[in-house]
């Protein structure tokens, strides 16, 4: 953004990368896949780079309102300085915080999740996938992340994107409005387990494995980590793959061999 501002340009959309998308090795693959798609279809976008800070979501969920507001106000100041209007992010936590919690602090933006943008690009005919792609006929089950699903009511966009893959979408027992958390939300990602009989991610992965799907699709860096850990805990990592929707789309771009 700083570079474009220096040239007197404003991009169509700001891609909010997020902490996981920037620093977590697994989530970085999602960032790269999504950027590849944006470049493929010619979306005019930019990132904040070093000027982007954590949204403050984990701090607020863990109960530290002071740190949340410090993070949020710093980000809002940066976004408003660049006159940002539209934001896309691949993290439902960032999506929910910027969309629903920043307005109270003076940050008002048109915020969409990357699955929504992918659906828009497909609907507009800008994003075209090859016929009979990598996942044709394969069983895929989709995990609704809490902040995209129940918190914001976005269920259809990710499923419409998956339909474009010509795959066989099989739903878990608990899905959509009755979806089950992966176990990482509410800042649980960053603390030790509380006493109990079973980890939530193991419970969720068992439901995914019960569908017989060879691919578990997710839309959140936290969910990717928790579900992958669960699959590994069941010794199924050779048989069941865990992907973000952007990674599935990249596999099916014309000219891509996966």
Q: Are residues 245 and 143 in the same domain?
A: yes
- Asked which of 88, 119, 150 is the last residue of a domain, the reply is 119
Number of domains in the chain: 2
Q: What CATH code is carried by the domain that includes residue 220?
A: 3.40.50
Q: Are 128 and 254 in contact (CB under 8 A)?
A: yes
Q: Which residues contact 128 (CB under 8 A, 6 or more apart)?
A: 254
Q: Are residues 60 and 135 in the same domain?
A: no
CA angle 258, 12, 39 (to 5 degrees): 20
Across-strand partners of 87?
A: 14, 111
On whether residue 256 sits in a domain, the answer given is: no
Torsional sign, CA 119, 123, 125, 131: positive
Q: Are residues 155 and 81 in the same domain?
A: no
Per-residue pLDDT, 142: 97
Q: Are residues 85 and 157 in the same domain?
A: no
Q: Are residues 102 and 168 in the same domain?
A: no
Calpha distance 58→56 (Å, rounded)? 6
What are the Cα distances from residue 75, in Å, to 83, 165, 179, 195, 213?
A: 12, 36, 31, 36, 40
Q: Are residues 150 and 224 in the same domain?
A: yes
Tell me the average confidence (pLDDT) per consecutive run of 10 residues in the chain, 258 residues long: 94 97 97 97 97 96 97 98 97 98 98 97 91 82 96 95 90 96 87 87 96 97 96 95 96 71
Q: Put the strands of the sheet holding 110-113 in their side by side order.
A: 45-46, 13-16, 86-89, 110-113
Q: Are residues 173 and 236 in the same domain?
A: yes
Q: Are residues 83 and 142 in the same domain?
A: no
- Asked which of 100, 119, 138 is the last residue of a domain, the reply is 119
Q: Are residues 155 and 49 in the same domain?
A: no
Q: Are residues 247 and 133 in the same domain?
A: yes
On whether residue 137 sits in a domain, the answer given is: yes
Q: Are residues 110 and 199 in the same domain?
A: no
Per-residue pLDDT, 258: 45
- Asked which of 119, 143, 161 is the last residue of a domain, the reply is 119
On whether residue 160 sits in a domain, the answer given is: yes
Q: Are residues 155 and 114 in the same domain?
A: no
Per-residue pLDDT, 256: 62
Range(s) of the domain holding residue 105: 2-119
């Amino acid at each position: 953004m700083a570079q474009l501002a220096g040239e007197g340009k404003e991009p169509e959309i700001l891609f909010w990368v997020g902490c996981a998308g920037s620093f977590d090795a697994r989530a970085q693959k999602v960032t790269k896949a999504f950027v590849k798609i944006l470049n493929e279809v010619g979306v005019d976008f930019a990132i904040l780079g070093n000027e982007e800070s954590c949204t403050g979501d984990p701090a607020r969920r863990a109960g530290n309102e002071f740190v949340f507001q410090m993070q949020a106000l710093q980000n809002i100041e940066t976004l408003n300085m660049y006159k940002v209007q539209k934001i896309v992010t691949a993290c439902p936590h960032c999506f929910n915080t910027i969309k629903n919690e920043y307005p109270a602090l003076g940050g008002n933006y048109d915020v969409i999740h990357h699955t929504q943008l992918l659906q828009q690009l497909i609907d507009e005919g800008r994003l075209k996938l090859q016929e009979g792609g990598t996942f044709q006929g394969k069983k895929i089950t989709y995990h609704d992340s809490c902040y995209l699903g129940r918190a914001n009511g976005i269920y259809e966009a990710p499923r419409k994107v998956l339909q474009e893959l010509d795959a066989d979408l099989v739903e878990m027992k608990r899905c959509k409005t009755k979806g089950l958390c992966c176990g990482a939300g509410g800042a649980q990602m960053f603390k030790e387990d509380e006493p109990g009989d079973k980890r939530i991610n193991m419970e969720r992965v068992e439901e995914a494995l019960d569908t017989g799907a060879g691919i578990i699709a997710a839309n959140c860096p936290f969910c990717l980590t928790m579900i992958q850990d669960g699959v590994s805990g069941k010794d199924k990592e050779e048989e069941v793959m865990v992907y973000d929707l952007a990674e599935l789309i990249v596999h099916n771009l014309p000219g891509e061999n996966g």
